[in-house]
Amino acid sequence: MEAVREFVVGIGGESGEGVVLAGDILTMTAARMNIHSSSFRTFPAEARGGPSVVKLRLCLDHVYSLGDEYDILVAFNEDAYGLHGPDLAQHGVLVIDGEHDDPVQRRHPELADRIVYQIPMDRISRKDVGEPRTKNMVAVGAVSALFGFSRVMIEKNLAERFAKRSGKILQDNLNAFTAGYDYAVAHVEKHDPFELKEEEGEGFIVLSGNEAVALGSLYAGCRFFGGYPITPATEIMEILAYELPRVGGAMYQAEDEIASIGAVLGASFTGVRSMTATSGPGLSLMAELIGLSSMGEIPCVIVNVQRGGPSTGLPTKTEQADLSLALAATHGDAPHVVLAATTIRDCFEIMQLAFDVADCYQLPVIVLTEQALGFRRADLPRSLLRAKPVTSPLCPPQEIVDQALYFRYRLTENGVSARTIPGTIGGAHVVTGLEHAEDGKPAYDPPTRRAMMEKRQRKLTGVLKEFGSVKRYGDANPDIGVIGWGSTAGPIREAVQIACGAGVKAGGFVPRMIYPSPNEDIRAFIQSCKKVFVIEGNMSGQYAAFLRSQIPGFDPVVVTRYDGLPIQRGDVLKKIREMAP
Amino acid sequence: MNPPEPSTTAATRRAADYKSSRKPVWCPGCGDYGVLNSIFSALATTAIDPDRLVVVSGIGCSSRMPGFIRAYGFHGAHGRALPVAVGVKTANPALDVLVVGGDGDAFSIGGGHVSHVARRNINITYIVMDNQIYGLTKGQVSPTSDPGTTTKASPYGSFEYSIQPVQLMLSYGATYVARGFSSYPKELAAMIDRGIRHNGFSFIHVLSPCVTFNKSIGYDYYQSHVVPIPDDHDTNDIWAALRLTGDPPDTYYLGVFYEVDRPSYTDMLYKGGRRPSPEPPIDTERIIRRFS
């Protein structure tokens, strides 16, 4: 049998059984073996209890989506099989807790002619290791033996992970790993083709979207973070809480989201690159001060890791339904920028763009990511984090100022006025959320009002021209064009590639800058396609509705998904096939 | 970006040096004029460099004050003066931060912030001008209005118990708590001066009458209800301070209730209380190890 080196693994169990840790160890081991990966974990909203699952796709090239069915399903119990069994490919392998003399097929006749390896994970952890919490490591041991995850690397990984814990914890985990490994070698007759092999290289780093956002911000020069814990964005705050003090910055855990963005505006007023990260409910609370940022022309960056809404909604699941909120952002006409990260790597890179736009144009920038990106992890080259971090802002505040000639809100051609920060001699001014004249003094007369509204709005022309950014995939003159945004970029890219490979002329278009909208690029894409559909992860088709308002006469077919799960490449492919000539 | 360093030479300054070219927009007779003058005198005493001073406010009549002071100012959103001030001070502890506003801004819409800024001991000075009414919206009850107050929005008389700002701030852990009266500008200026010098969160409650929308709680009313804090009051004694806030009832003690030394937020956050300069570089190799 020829070895298959690319496959998808699922690990399912009860929350608290160590599913996430098992997935994490396999992911990091693959990265050290120079195997590309994409992985995703879901867990229940409550701190404990309920089903938990990790999906890990392993490939020889960088991948942009999680793939479709599982080739290997590791079930910590039969409930997990019941839940995830339907997603196991017909040719797939089930690795499940249980004894040889009690075949799972007795209770599940549908498994009769499938590949099933039973490993007594529970018994080994309790009887042989004497620590039931190591059940996950028994499973990892068996998976290592069966599918070629490097034993040496896993043992080293365990030693690193548990270095700061008691020696017993490390020993129990190592014992469990070895017992699982040895059991599989001694008792399982392998008859599947899935086998990893170590590749050449220095090893990859592995980042989740949240980790990438945090590091991207750090490297982009962010030195103040004000935030409030909220699933699924909290990790960004936690990483920066650790990293910022090491570079002279600060993480401020505020009393609520309103205080978070208030502190961000205060810090930014002093010239420090500042940000917050939240999810839908937090963004709703921040609305008023986003308007203040726009009106007072104080740069700020707000990351919104979208979850299912409205209200408390689906805290641990994904959706792309905060777009309309981000586009409106606040009351009044408040010029601001909306960016949407497309991939894990983009979660890192888009933060540089966000801070540059915010600084140079002195306005709020909302960066949309999603739980599907925030919790998904992918391999990235080490060079990404070796790049020289930005230490000084692209558009520094003005330094020496003649107070008599200085007007904080001077009317200019591109709408941007010189900004001074406290401490600058002669640069004193008062920021206000009231409408104001060039010197910042409140003013409500119609000519001033018009001039100032237009000044702030003009900035968006420059933003689009200088920083506008879109991604296009596939055929240059497609029969079927797909438009998406955010995390759908990966599935669209792969689906378009597969469709093109199968002889369908397909093309994809994904903007990184949603607003101001790159209408010329969008129009050019639409005109190059015979048929176009928009696909997005919300019920009402928020981006499609926005595009209708931006591109007169454009009325696309809309595919939506709003079940808490991310759009998969299969969803994209299905529609391409349906519409193909 | 490295924060500007504090000035090494404290020049002598006059109250007029802090006066901006803008004329206050308050009603004639408003208590806030007296408070503004006390702030000018206090600033002159401390000789703070106007270019290193940031005056932050929210929304309300008294919150227009940053425009009348020659300094950097931030006239932000209703109830959110404290969060903004925290951001300013945390990002650049070398700046002096003064927060001004009214009773509604502080204790109604902004009520969720005062306790946290107090307990964190952020090194800023907060001056609350209390007129027991919403003035900007033309007279509705505020959290400090007396029960029975009749307004257009409480036509049958308010039946809500009012809060006591000094008592609250003492309970929240503020490290400097004082009360002044806008008719006694010299005493008020001394309290503000001491508050600015205090290392930590300083709160100054100022009785500042609204002569337009709360005529019954005017200068005469306060004159007959204020009493100086006794000379033998121990400002280190929190329980003695708390007693002065309620005993006897209907008495407004004026003076410093409480002052205690506790490291401020930025003292704890940064070594030496200042952001490091130059900024330490990012250790890229450590971060790579952390994520591989």
* B268 part of contact set with chain A, CB < 8 Å: no
A264/B269 Cβ within 8 A: no
Q: How confident is the model at residue A172 (pLDDT cuts 50, 70, 90)?
A: very high
- Which of B206, B219, B201 is closest to B254 using CA atoms? B206
Between CA B97 and CA B53 the distance in angstroms is: 6
A256/B87 Cβ within 8 A: no
Which of chain B's residues have a Cβ under 8 Å away from the Cβ of A206?
Answer: 291-292
Q: Of A204, A224, A292, which is closest to B76 when you measure between CB atoms?
A: A292
Q: Of B50, B74, B276, which is closest to A248 when you measure between CB atoms?
A: B276
Task: Count the neighbouring beta carbons within 10 Å of the beta carbon of residue B175.
Answer: 22
- The enclosing H or E element of A466 equals helix A446-467
pLDDT of residue B250: 83
Q: Which residues pair with B259 in a beta bridge?
A: B176
Kindly state the DSSP code that residue A569 receives in the 8-state scheme.
Answer: H
pLDDT of residue A402: 84
Instruction: Give the tens place of pLDDT for each residue, A411-450.
Output: 999 999 999 999 999 999 999 999 999 999 999 999 999 9
- Beta strands B53-57 and A88-97, pairing class: unpaired
B86/A263 Cβ within 8 A: yes
B74/A223 Cβ within 8 A: no
HSE of A59, CA atoms in CB hemisphere, 13 A: 13
Which of chain B's residues have a Cβ under 8 Å away from the Cβ of A265?
Answer: 74, 76, 84, 87
Q: Of A31, A385, A431, which is closest to B287 when you measure between CB atoms?
A: A385
Among B residues 22-81, those touching chain A with beta carbons less than 8 Å apart: 22, 50-56, 59, 66-67, 70-77, 80
Q: What's the whole-number average pLDDT of chain B?
A: 94
% of chain A with per-residue pLDDT over 70: 98
Q: What's the whole-number average pLDDT of chain A?
A: 95
Q: Work out the minimum CA distance from B54 to partner chain A, whole angstroms.
A: 7
Instruction: Give the tens place of pLDDT for each residue, A485-503.
Output: 999 999 999 999 999 999 9
B52/A386 Cβ within 8 A: no
* B90 part of contact set with chain A, CB < 8 Å: yes
- Distant-in-sequence, close-in-space partners of A114: CB < 8 Å, separation ≥ 6: A88, A90, A92, A94
Write the ipTM.
Answer: 0.96
Q: Of B1, B71, B90, which is closest to A428 when you measure between CB atoms?
A: B71
Between CA A162 and CA A151 the distance in angstroms is: 17
Q: Of A263, A393, A424, which is closest to B87 when you measure between CB atoms?
A: A263
Q: Does the pLDDT of residue A44 top 70, yes or no?
A: no
Q: Work out the minimum CA distance from B226 to partner chain A, whole angstroms.
A: 35
Instruction: Give the tens place of pLDDT for each residue, A455-469.
Output: 999 999 999 999 988
Q: Could you tell me the two tokens for A3?
A: 């070895």
Contact A278, A227 (CB under 8 A): yes
Instruction: Give the tens place of pLDDT for each residue, B105-122.
Output: 999 999 999 999 999 999
Q: Work out the minimum CA distance from A144 to partner chain B, whole angstroms.
A: 19
Look up tokens 């994409």; give the residue: A38
Among B residues 121-160, those touching chain A with beta carbons less than 8 Å apart: none
Q: Work out the minimum CA distance from A251 to partner chain B, whole angstroms.
A: 9
- Which of B284, B1, B266, B278 is closest to A221 using CA atoms? B1
- The enclosing H or E element of A350 equals helix A344-361
* Higher-pLDDT residue of A100, A110: A110
Which of chain B's residues have a Cβ under 8 Å away from the Cβ of A389?
Answer: 281-282, 284
pLDDT of residue B7: 46
Q: Output A527-530 pairs: Cβ under 8 A, ≥24 positions apart.
A: A528/A476, A528/A477, A528/A478, A528/A481, A529/A477, A529/A478, A529/A479, A529/A480, A529/A481, A530/A478, A530/A479, A530/A480, A530/A481, A530/A581
pLDDT of residue A166: 85
Reduced to 3 states (helix: H, G, I; strand: E, B; else coil), residue A281 is helix
Which of chain A's residues have a Cβ under 8 Å away from the Cβ of B283?
Answer: 246
Instruction: Give the tens place of pLDDT for each residue, A373-389.
Output: 999 999 999 999 998 88
Q: Does the pLDDT of residue A43 top 70, yes or no?
A: no
Mean per-residue pLDDT, A469-482: 94
Task: Count the neighbouring beta carbons within 10 Å of the beta carbon of residue B147.
Answer: 11
Instruction: Give the tens place of pLDDT for each residue, A298-314.
Output: 999 999 999 999 999 99
Which of chain A's residues have a Cβ under 8 Å away from the Cβ of B76?
Answer: 262, 265, 289, 292, 296, 431-433
Instruction: Give the tens place of pLDDT for each residue, B240-276.
Output: 999 999 877 789 999 999 999 999 999 999 988 999 9
CA distances, A530 to each of A103, A482, A507, A540 (Å) = 54, 11, 10, 24
CB pairs under 8 A between A and B: 198
Residue length, chain B?
292
Q: How confident is the model at residue B10 (pLDDT cuts 50, 70, 90)?
A: low
Instruction: Give the tens place of pLDDT for each residue, B117-156.
Output: 999 999 999 999 999 999 999 999 999 999 999 999 999 9
Between CA B103 and CA B25 the distance in angstroms is: 18
Q: Does the pLDDT of residue B9 top 60, yes or no?
A: no
Which of chain A's residues have a Cβ under 8 Å away from the Cβ of B51?
Answer: 422-428
Q: Does the pLDDT of residue A164 top 80, yes or no?
A: yes
Mean per-residue pLDDT, B206-229: 96
Q: In what order do the strands lie in the sheet with A205-208?
A: A115-119, A88-97, A70-75, A7-14, A51-59, A36-42, A376-380, A205-208
- Distant-in-sequence, close-in-space partners of A199: CB < 8 Å, separation ≥ 6: A33, A34, A35, A60
* Higher-pLDDT residue of A182, A17: A182
Mean per-residue pLDDT, B24-50: 97
HEC profile for B196-247? HHCCCCEEEEEECCCCCCCCCCCHHHHHCCEEECCCCCCCCCHHHHHHHCCC
pLDDT of residue B252: 96
Q: Does the pLDDT of residue A45 top 80, yes or no?
A: no
Q: Work out the minimum CA distance from A146 to partner chain B, whole angstroms.
A: 24
Query: pTM to 2 decimals?
Result: 0.95
Q: Work out the minimum CA distance from B43 to partner chain A, whole angstroms.
A: 16
Q: Work out the minimum CA distance from B196 to partner chain A, whole angstroms.
A: 18
Between CA B197 and CA B124 the distance in angstroms is: 10
Q: How confident is the model at residue A42 (pLDDT cuts 50, 70, 90)?
A: confident
